Structure 1
Amino acid sequence: MTHPSEPTARTTPAGTATVPTGTAVPTGPAAARPRLIATDLDGTLLRDDKSVSARTISALAAAEAAGIEVFFVTGRPARWMGVVSDHVHGHGLAICANGAAVVDLHSSGSGRHRIVETRPLERRDALEIVHALRAAAPGVSFAVERTGGIHYEPEYPSFPLDPGASFAPADVLLTDATDPAYAQPVLKLLAHHPTRDPDEFLALGRKVGGAHGEFTRSSHSALLEISGRGVSKASTLARACAERGITAEEVVAFGDMPNDLAMLAWAGRSYAMANAHPEVLLATTGRTLTNEEDGVATVIETFLPG
């Protein structure tokens, strides 16, 4: 075992350098100022305690002052965006729920950020996925993320940030039209399995239900995040950039988990965090330090005037 104080080498994709852990220089193409920075939050921009470091706050503010737009692109729902809403300047928009919602972080009626666009998962598709996964993976349980909040099956391990959520079988959550809360658009279907390997569960979900939705994951447990067909961080980011006349080549993206892969592939330049999932480490044009080491800020600073 390597002693904690000793740097260890990481194997990098072809075309990048081998960087010892703890080195403060990101690998990848030469720095050139982008027009837009797209960054994931958990495991990427945020520290492990869900805070934003002073260095990262300064880098984000300096980027926008230099005319670079910053988009937070996350699997989080709108109601969990308070961790970064104070650090958005200019446009104030974020892409949430893996691309299913565009959110105005400057507007917070009754403490909630305003959703300005949705790309929902159709109920019929959601039900087909529920039935397919139940048959293929006994023991699976579901939650339904809507624009107004989340609803759980009783067996699903609920999130502590959502103490007011309701509980019912997924078939009821997706078909009961008598409850106004269940009439809201479905942003994500979540599927949890207590014993499956996370990557194998993702592959199984795509095999049995991929015709009805987009499957991904961002948790270290066997938790699938399922969006409407064609909905991803990448597709919603591409739409937002097209509206602004920004091309993929003018975008730099940061991420760490499989739900970031499509966005990282779409962007002209992409950086994997040193703590990223192995597939992400192999998929990007560059690498940076871990989220605990301000890896995003380290790269952003190379775009800014000296």
Structure 2
Amino acid sequence: MKAARPASQYKLLALDLDGTLLNHAGAASDADVEAVHKLRAQGVKVTILTGRLYSGTREAAELLGIDGPVGCADGSHIVNVKNDKTLLHHGIRGRAADRLRASLERNDLVAFLFAEDAIVHDERGADYLPFVRTWSTDLRYAHRITEHALWDSDDGMTAVVALGKEANIGRIVADIQRDASESMQVAMFPFRRDTEHWGMVARASGGTKGTALAWVSSHYGIDISETVCVGDWLNDLPMMTCAGRSFAMGQAPSEVKLAATDVLETTIDAGGAIAEAIGRAFGTKL
């Protein structure tokens, strides 16, 4: 674990959303919201770094009173909440997009295209909309997903999610790692309890919660060692390894707890974990 700075030296707080600020019902605890507002009143900057798209992030940002940059899609898209303008975007485009599309077609997977602010699906994806709504509630229908204009757009896709059998998902992940590892990053995961339902998410290389934290810190003229972050899952590891102080939620898996400088006693179900982190990291500021 890294040694923590004195409380008075931290200037920016970065928060994950699902499992950290927001519980399984998508709600934040009053104690956490109040603690964030008090912290901001003391001049500390607050940002959100989440796997959600911006359309699924904005409401939480407004709840916390954030009007600056937030990092969405695990750092692939940074947006200024004040005017909804994109500040940075890492998109899947060009040859990488062509290879990904070809692999999707070969492996007969249900796919979802993540634009900067919406998720595009076709008829095959309709049954899985409750699952993908976690990233954004802005859902748009396309006749055939592999023929959508996003594949050829200059900005590219913020992410692509594919769902299917484990063997098929494994093949597309192998394709990406073999043919496009320099331009894309990919992860596979089970999304239902039986092994027949797996998923993968592909994003352009260069964007993580760690790079987003560095960007937001620089935007405010703050050294990254003067930042604090709170998270609960594996996609939070990049920001935890570079923040000055990092808190793992009480329910976080062991890998996340080991990477953090601190482990919170509070879980998302209990509520108040962010208030606990603020009290421990910023202490006398409140």
Question: What TM-score do the two structures reach when normalised by structure 1?
Answer: 0.74
Q: Residues 273 and 150 (structure 1 numbering): CA distance in 2 closer, same or farther, change over 3 Å? A: same
Match of 1:150 in 2: 119
Match of 1:270 in 2: 246
User: CA offsets, 1:161-205, max 9 Å, x none?
Assistant: 64751234443125676xxxx67642111122344699x899757
1:89 matched to 2:58: no
Identity percentage over the alignment? 22
User: CA offsets, 1:37-89, max 9 Å, x none?
Assistant: 11110011112211111101111011111221111011111111244133333
Match of 1:290 in 2: 267
Query: Which of 152, 163, 167 is the aligned partner of 1:192?
Result: 163
Read off the aligned partner of 1:229 and give its amino acid letter. S
State the superposition RMSD in angstroms.
Answer: 3.3
Q: Residues 176 and 38 (structure 1 numbering): CA distance in 2 closer, same or farther, change over 3 Å? A: closer
Aligned residues of 2:230 and 2:277 also touching (Cα < 8 A): no
Gaps of 5+ in 1: 1-14, 17-27, 108-112
* Structure 2 Cα separation of the partners of residues 257 and 218 of structure 1: 13
Aligned residues of 2:150 and 2:156 also touching (Cα < 8 A): no
* Structure 2 Cα separation of the partners of residues 268 and 301 of structure 1: 16
Match of 1:172 in 2: 147
Q: Residues 43 and 284 (structure 1 numbering): CA distance in 2 closer, same or farther, change over 3 Å? A: same
Higher alpha-carbon deviation: 242-251 or 216-225:
216-225
Read off the aligned partner of 2:114 and give its amino acid letter. E
User: CA offsets, 1:207-253, max 9 Å, x none?
Assistant: 34533312247985533332212111211221221232222211111
* Structure 1 Cα separation of the partners of residues 172 and 99 of structure 2: 16
Question: What TM-score do the two structures reach when normalised by structure 2?
Answer: 0.79
Higher helix share: 2
* Structure 2 Cα separation of the partners of residues 269 and 134 of structure 1: 44
* Structure 1 Cα separation of the partners of residues 167 and 36 of structure 2: 38
Query: Which of 189, 207, 226 is the aligned partner of 1:231?
Result: 207
Q: Residues 218 and 52 (structure 1 numbering): CA distance in 2 closer, same or farther, change over 3 Å? A: farther
Q: What aligned pairs does 1:26-175 form with structure 2 within 5 A after superposition?
A: 29=4, 32-33=7-8, 34-89=10-65, 91-107=67-83, 113-132=84-103, 138-156=107-125, 157-158=128-129, 159=132, 162=137, 164-173=139-148
* Structure 2 Cα separation of the partners of residues 205 and 41 of structure 1: 31
* Structure 2 Cα separation of the partners of residues 87 and 163 of structure 1: 19
Q: Residues 121 and 95 (structure 1 numbering): CA distance in 2 closer, same or farther, change over 3 Å? A: same
